A = this chain, B = another copy of it.
Amino acid sequence: MMNRERHPHLRNKEDTVMLPALSRVAVCGGTHGNELSGVYLVHERLKRRKKSQVMEPVAVVTVMSNPRAVQRCVRYTETDLNRCFTHAMLSLSASEQTSYELVRSQELNSLLGPKGSAEAMDLICDLHNTTANMGLCLITYSDSDWICLHICKYLQREMATIPVRYIHYDIPRSEAYSLDSVGKHGFAMEIGPQPHGLIRANIFMAMQEAVQLLLDWVRLFNSGAQFEGGSVDVYTLVKNIDYPRDPHTHTIIAAVHPDLQDRDFCLLHPGDPMFLSFSGETLRYKGKEPLYPFFINESAYYEKAVALSLARRRKVEIPAIRSSRM
């Protein structure tokens, strides 16, 4: 029996949505080989499993997604693995697989998918770090995935040390390009700030805690616990902004403004400082609508022409849910 005093979110309601249990869950790290919290969290999980053969009440598979990139401590060796999981790329024939990462994406799709099939993992949590001051974010392709939204709500309540937010990329599932899109449910768990190629103990510990809480939630859900409805703030990507560049050489000519640096999820108003040019000039946000910046000055996105992303925020009402398999 659940202890309803200790778990006040476990209540019965008439409008409860019944959802299938999450019997197979994947925790992946090293999808980007230099994002070290996830890399070492996966190392530790694989080591502990070998040692103690712990039986978990849910089948959890732990995966080092890009071992070659991990070995070299780089984001990727030939192409960004976490852009290889569209239906189109997963359907390329062997002869068209030009890079290690494309081959690896199809291996992972066999292991954790196939994407869109009944055999796919019920939930994929893919661990990432960012240099941006984003706290912990769940990044998804849906603003109506009650499982992901309930997990977010649970982490928001239980995580003591770090803010938790929900980011939504409004892209059809077939065009969704990241590893987590292979699962029936899934998200990237993004934690920062942490420079790539190193571990900061506080960020590592936050990720450890979040993964533990995530698996706790899945166990509660599978055991038949009911999770009450409520609301979650969802940040939906509106657009990306590139660094100002020299029109001829395309070299960056400005850095993120000190007033904006580290202020992820603080509302950016038209006219607010956005960049500081290397010659000292302040460049301002020219949009007409106040929006929420995130991924501010993520080092891996210099090559992707993204200095920051901007999101609209809205409150999404979520129903009470319960597992249909008791």
Contacts and interface: CB of A to CB of B under 8 A. Distances in A.
Q: How many A residues are at the interface, by size bracket?
A: 20 to 34
Interface string A200-236: 1110110010000000000000000000000000000
A86 interface: no
A297 interface: yes
Contact of A201 (B74, B199, B257, B303): B257
A276 interface: yes
Instruction: Please give the count of copies of this chain that the complex contains.
Output: 2
A234 B261 CA distance: 33
Interface stretch (A96-104, A118-126, A190-198): A190-198
A196 B199 contact: no
A44 interface: yes
A279 interface: yes
A43 interface: yes
Contacts of A74: 74
Interface in A73-98: 73-74
Nearest to A254: B201
A204 B43 contact: no
Given A40-B255, A204-B255, 10 more contacts: A40-B252, A40-B278, A43-B251, A43-B278, A195-B299, A198-B298, A199-B252, A199-B255, A200-B261, A201-B255
